[in-house]
């Protein structure tokens, strides 16, 4: 039994990142970034800075995702959009633009668009089929990031969530979501940009 002297904080474990790992940047859109949108994350600038830090190491291996509202909400989504009617706009509305990473899109990074919080599905699976690990960044940690991470892990993909390249609906919800995802180790590992970049360099 360990006496704790050699214990390592889970989020500080150096992740083994293969040369074929893919960076998946989740929903870095105006709706989650720009007040007065009620969905804007207060820590979005931190997530953007962390994502920018990661991008050079994943040139040609980056996929962006985008959330859009369904054209006609169905089932439980009807009650959801009764609470958030501002978001019921067409998918080409400026609200859903990936403004801050438009250069990455222009450079040819694929964009997966879905009407669900979780972005894992046939499109993202196809876009990352050559990847070993999936390195997740983006927003919101407690919604679209965690929904994507859990579904990808269930599909057998190894997932690394970069805590300082993500942002939650609140700082407290960000931390809660990270703690939940840590429970899924080793399928999901919560790590940092520094650890990912350090591991990728070896």
86 burial (CB, 10 Å; 0-12 / 13-18 / 19+) is: middle
Other Cβ atoms within 10 Å of 9 Cβ, number: 7
pLDDT tens-digit map of 102-141 = 999 999 999 999 999 999 999 999 999 999 999 999 999 9
Q: Which two tokens stand for residue 14?
A: 């150096």
User: Quick check: is 4 in a domain?
Assistant: no
To the nearest whole percent, how much of the chain has pLDDT over 90? 88
pLDDT at 199: 82
Across the chain, mean pLDDT equals: 92
Cα distance between residue 172 and residue 151, in whole Å: 23
Quick check: is 139 in a domain?
Answer: yes
**pLDDT value, residue 195:** 96
Q: Which residues, 6 or more positions from 144, have their beta carbon under 8 angstroms from its beta carbon? A: 26, 27, 65, 67, 117, 118, 119, 138
3 in any annotated domain: no
Rounded CA-CA distance 107/45 in Å is 22
3-state secondary structure of 13: coil
Domain containing residue 79: CATH number: 3.40.50.850
CA atoms within a 13 Å half-sphere pointing along the CA-CB vector of 25: 28
Q: Where residue 6 falls among pLDDT bands split at 50, 70, 90?
A: very low
66 bridge partner residues: 113
Widest CA span of the chain, in angstroms?
57
Q: Cα–Cα distance between 144 and 117 in angstroms, integer?
A: 5
For the segment 75-104, the average pLDDT, to the nearest whole number, is 97
pLDDT digits (tens, 9 = 90+) for 134-168: 999 999 999 999 999 999 999 999 999 999 999 99
Q: What is the CA radius of gyration of the chain?
A: 17
Residue 111 included in any domain: yes
CA distance 61 to 38: 32
157: number of Cβ within 10 Å: 20
Over 80: is that where the pLDDT of 11 sits?
Answer: no
pLDDT band at 16 (very low <50, low <70, confident <90, very high): confident
Overall average pLDDT of the 71-93 stretch: 97
Secondary structure element (H or E) that encloses residue 24, with its range: strand 22-26
The stretch 19-48 carries a mean pLDDT of: 97
* pLDDT at site 202: 63
Domain of 24 in residue numbering reads as 10-200
Q: Does residue 184 lie within any of the structural domains? A: yes
pLDDT, average across residues 59-69: 98
Q: Tell which wins on pLDDT, 169 or 199.
A: 169
* 71 belongs to a structural domain: yes
User: What's the structural domain count of the chain?
Assistant: 1
1 assigned to some structural domain: no
d(Cα 61, Cα 25) in Å, to the nearest integer?
A: 11
Is 185 within a domain?
A: yes
- pTM over 0.75, yes/no: yes
> Given the DSSP bridges, would you call strands 22-26 and 158-167 parallel, antiparallel or unpaired?
unpaired
pLDDT band of residue 2 (cuts 50, 70, 90) is very low
């Amino acid at each position: 039994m360990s006496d704790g002297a050699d214990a390592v904080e889970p989020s500080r474990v150096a992740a083994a990142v293969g040369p074929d790992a893919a960076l998946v940047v989740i929903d870095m859109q105006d709706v989650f970034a720009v007040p007065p949108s009620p969905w804007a994350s207060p820590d979005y600038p931190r997530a953007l800075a962390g994502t920018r830090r990661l991008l050079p190491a994943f040139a040609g291996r980056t996929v962006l995702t985008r959330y859009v509202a369904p054209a006609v909400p169905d089932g439980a989504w009807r009650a959801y959009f009764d609470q958030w009617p501002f978001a019921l706009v067409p998918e080409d509305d400026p609200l859903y633009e990936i403004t801050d990473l438009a250069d990455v899109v222009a450079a040819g990074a694929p964009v997966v668009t879905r009407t669900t919080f979780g972005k894992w599905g046939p499109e993202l699976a196809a876009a990352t089929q050559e990847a070993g690990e999936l390195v997740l960044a983006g927003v919101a940690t407690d919604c679209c990031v965690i929904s994507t991470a859990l579904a990808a892990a269930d599909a057998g993909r190894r997932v690394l969530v970069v805590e300082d390249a993500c942002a939650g609906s609140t700082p407290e919800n960000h931390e809660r979501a990270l703690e939940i995802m840590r429970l899924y180790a080793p399928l999901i590992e919560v790590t940092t940009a520094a650890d990912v970049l350090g591991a990728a360099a070896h």
